[in-house]
Amino acid sequence: MKQLDSIYAQLPEWLQDLVVTAQGALYYRQRYGGAFREEYALLKASEMSSPLQLELLQVARLKKMLTHAAATVPYYQALLRNQSWNNLRAGDWSAFSALPVTEKATLRSNPLSFLTGGKSNSRWIGWNTSGTTGSPMQLFYEPDAVSRQYAYVERYREQAGVSRFLRRAQFTGRMIAPGEHPSRFWRHDWANRALLLSTVHLNSETIPRYLDALERFRPAYLSGYPSAIYLLAQHALRYRRKSLRIPTILTSAETLLGEQRESIEAAFCGKVFDQYGQTEMQSFWFQCRYRRMHTHPLFGVTEIVTPDGRPARPGEVGDVLLTGLINQAMPLIRYRVGDRAAWADSDRCPCGRNMPMIESIEGRREDYLFSRQRGWVGRLDPALKGVEGVVECQFVQEVPEAIRVLCVPSPDFRPEDRLHLESNLRSRLGSEMRIDFQFVDQIPRGANGKFRAVVSRLPVQTETRNDFEEVR
């Protein structure tokens, strides 16, 4: 793989476009071949089904997955042996919620025991997680799980007014523009009518060039990390650049902050549709045009539980447990994914879908800072609200009594802006917190080009689960 990368790096940029296109054609076959059509037809037919019809379909899929795991997956063979889960039925989930939770650490320490047959299969598609927190993990998908997943992606795009056939610009963490000084930071995937934009080259100097490229390309939609799209939006707003219109923006992979959505929609005169999923392929949550986040019941079972394991009430934040229903290569049952969320109060959405709704995604436990005065503090985005002169910030914590703020100033940054931000942070973290500022040109992206607002390097004992739950 390394060798292929270095060959690619030496090609002229127009040839790199062809390589990206050839790879795009392969992806296209993988995504829209196989089980895509069958799953897509099912999704379309069941989209507006009643809650009971959806639950019946979900329970049938779940039982199939449990039967499969009990028969062929080493980790679950023993756990599911007594077959009590067979009592699971629509309206009565007690037999399912009695099953033990699968922790991420268990999967990490023995991934093979979660595979069908206890070993990998040459037909499967392997994927290494980036390991931004903890060590990387290897995951496996059946080829049909990937094509099924794209049926959900396509329905999500369609209800947002776009599809795979329209011109798309997409941010990617892939190293598509290698070398010291590439002359452009994007490549064309002509097979998918897509302009791929490199996340790693994005900084205050290159932003105008990205905007120029987007203006030339005229995408029907733009997809990618909210933090990357937000950088473009802020620049367009600051310099009153109104010529670039993008009607639909699809965000995923990071928590979308309110401020980001507002700026992106204002800058491009478009509408943002957020989506939540994970590389473990356990759930598909998507925003409809009424901005409600629906959980798709055929992709996975979503539970939200309190620290004592009871199902959370609407509005009550708890740990998200997921049971994926589309990938038989690596079943995970009641998997604690590490995110926290709350159910919405109402189960009716004007869009007509009877798919349960999420009120808020509180982000990952790793996205919290620790303060001796205030305990664990999450959702730091309001601290940036109203602070001018700052492009983006990252909060790094290495010791409990201090944080480091990596801050990218904009050209019109003034010293008052720093004081403003500092006082906002103090009001959340307490007066005793030491806050050190460090001004930088760019915030480094993690593997896959992902932006992290908080990097917590506190020792593990401060982060034990109970400690976390008590102080919140």
User: Which residues of this chain interact with Zn ion, rule CB under 5 A?
Assistant: 288, 290, 292, 349, 351, 353
Q: Which is nearer to Zn ion, 192 or 283 (CB)?
A: 283
Q: Which is nearer to Zn ion, 353 or 364 (CB)?
A: 353
Least Å distance between CB 170 and Zn ion? Answer: 25
Nearest to 428 by CA among 362, 386, 390, 373: 373
Least Å distance between CB 287 and Zn ion? Answer: 8
Q: Which is nearer to Zn ion, 348 or 414 (CB)?
A: 348
Q: How far is CA 408 from the centre of its chain?
A: 24
Q: For residues 289 and 273, what is the distance between their CA atoms, to the nearest angstrom?
A: 7
Q: Which is nearer to Zn ion, 351 or 440 (CB)?
A: 351
Least Å distance between CB 94 and Zn ion? Answer: 29
How is residue 3 written in tokens? 């060798």
Q: Which is nearer to Zn ion, 330 or 349 (CB)?
A: 349
Q: Which is nearer to Zn ion, 292 or 336 (CB)?
A: 292
Q: For residues 400 and 458, what is the distance between their CA atoms, to the nearest angstrom?
A: 7
Least Å distance between CB 214 and Zn ion? Answer: 29
Q: Which is nearer to Zn ion, 191 or 351 (CB)?
A: 351
Least Å distance between CB 260 and Zn ion? Answer: 21
Q: For residues 3 and 142, what is the distance between their CA atoms, to the nearest angstrom?
A: 27
Q: Which is nearer to Zn ion, 213 or 344 (CB)?
A: 344
Least Å distance between CB 363 and Zn ion? Answer: 22
Least Å distance between CB 292 and Zn ion? Answer: 4
Least Å distance between CB 28 and Zn ion? Answer: 29
Q: For residues 17 and 192, what is the distance between their CA atoms, to the nearest angstrom?
A: 12
- 118, amino acid identity: G
Least Å distance between CB 293 and Zn ion? Answer: 9
Which class for 329: exposed (0-12), middle (13-18), buried (19 or more C-beta within 10 A)? buried
Least Å distance between CB 290 and Zn ion? Answer: 5
Beta bridge pairs of residue 435 = 403
Q: For residues 201 and 126, what is the distance between their CA atoms, to the nearest angstrom?
A: 27
Q: Which is nearer to Zn ion, 109 or 346 (CB)?
A: 346
Q: Which is nearer to Zn ion, 239 or 290 (CB)?
A: 290
